Amino acid sequence: MKRQLVFLFMACSMMAAAQQNKRQQILEYLHQQGKDGFCGSVLIAEKGVVLVDTGIGYADRESQKPETAETVFSVGSITKQFTAAAVLKLESEGKLSTTDSIKKYFPSVPADKRNITLHQLLTHTAGLAEVLGDDYDTVSADAFITLAFQSELVHEPGSEYLYSNVGYSILGILVEKISGKGYEEFLREKLFLPAGMKHTGYVLPKFKKEQLATGYRNGVRWGTALDHPWMKGGPGWHLRANGGILSTTGDMYRWVLALTKYRVLPKSSVEKLFTPHVAEQAEQKSFYGYGWVIQPAGSTHLIWHNGGNGVYNAIVSFERSGDRCLIVSSNTNNKVSDLISIDLYNILSGSQQLRKPQEFDYRNNTVTKKILDAINSRGAEQFVVNSKEILSECGFDFENDMQLLGVGEALEENNQWKEATALYQVYTHYFPQIVVAWNRLGKCYAHNGDMPKAKECWTTSVALRSVNNPAVNWLKEMK
């Protein structure tokens, strides 16, 4: 018995020492990222032990208010898994089934959508558009349902995967319809408070603006969610139930523990959440469950979801084995939490293989800076003529179009329209299927007064994607 106790003590001591070493590496890494412009909150746990729970940089630059572990941030589309959990909570209470068709709850649904199931809404396979309006349009539930049911399906329900905010907002309205409670009220009563989450929601926690992280887009103050139009009960239904929930790293960790330890949902419901129901891409590198992405990671599965609006960004990821959990938020778009999280996971897992240069932020890396310098030094015409040579010299990855988007955005912001036009000409040449590239090239032509070429670009864009494409309206405005 003594030998066993000594061995156990030594094993615990070794594990504690290893965790302390990882903690030190993580803190050193975060310190450097803070010097490089990262601002956000980070919680990292391993084997049930919280190694780091801290803030980096400023929650508000102007007042120099620091980020802390208590800073409230928007979780963005991570909200979807809360909605999925609410649906499964109702199912566990016998009030619905994920195999139900929406016609059971919305009798007026048109024929093309009558057979859409709750399962299809949960797995983004219903064929609905990604979005139908702006996050901060104060659209009511009734108006949203009318708009959603009148919208054109992108594909036959159940035939393929297409990420849809619209589908999750419909699920949120369904939660209200069946429970007789407001969406946030139901979540707070049935999920958040039982999980010990007192600082999560839209308006019910009664957040003060000074508790929230201020967002910055390209260095310009965007404000907090409370600085933008919300209705009395929270955001309009273009955002409600699919995004925008506010929380803290501590509360999000409590949520992960509540799910994985079956404190808020029975095991059978949690298994439905984490089942890899549908592949997100043909290569089957990741799968969508109910509100969560499931990705193979060695001998376990990494379960995660991210969210953001081009200003803030957040990600929650954890191993199904329960060994590791990472929660990272950021309130600036120059250093997003997704990329920071990858580095932190590598440190935790001991691989030490941090991101390759082309995986860094698409606007702020060595390659994009070299491309920007090349187009400015050699000129727009030479860049177009010798694009392959120049891009190769800059170390461009011809499979990563985002770097070109980053350069194009920088040129537009500097009002370098000639150079931006050249950039997007090259962009559409190498990536002819990218809708945003054709849209931006059309914008450049329009700015230069060449409306026939703008029309050609936008027509090409609409041919690639006719749903949820601003080029549709731009073409209408030209008539």
Assess if CATH 1.25.40.10 describes domain 366-478: yes
- Alpha carbons 447 and 458: distance in angstroms, whole number: 14
Report the candidate in 426, 464, 466 with the shortest Cα–Cα distance to residue 444.
426
- Alpha carbons 248 and 349: distance in angstroms, whole number: 24
State residue 12's pLDDT score: 45
State residue 356's pLDDT score: 44
Q: Which CATH number fits domain 74-355: 3.90.950.20, 2.30.30.280, 3.40.190.10, 3.40.710.10?
A: 3.40.710.10
State residue 256's pLDDT score: 97
- Alpha carbons 85 and 241: distance in angstroms, whole number: 11
State residue 11's pLDDT score: 44
Angle at 15 between CA 11 and CA 19, to 5 degrees: 170
- Alpha carbons 24 and 163: distance in angstroms, whole number: 38
Domain ranges for the chain, please list them.
74-355, 366-478
CA atoms within 13 A of residue 424's CA, in its CB half-sphere = 25
Average pLDDT along the chain, 479 residues, taken 10 residues at a time: 47 59 91 91 95 96 95 97 98 98 97 97 96 91 96 94 95 98 98 98 96 89 91 94 98 97 97 95 87 88 91 93 92 85 89 48 76 93 93 82 86 91 95 89 93 94 78 84
Stated pTM of the model = 0.75
State residue 438's pLDDT score: 94
What is the Cα Rg of the chain in Å?
Answer: 24
Residue 85 near residue 274 (C-beta atoms within 8 A): no
State residue 442's pLDDT score: 94
Tokens describing residue 14: 């070794």
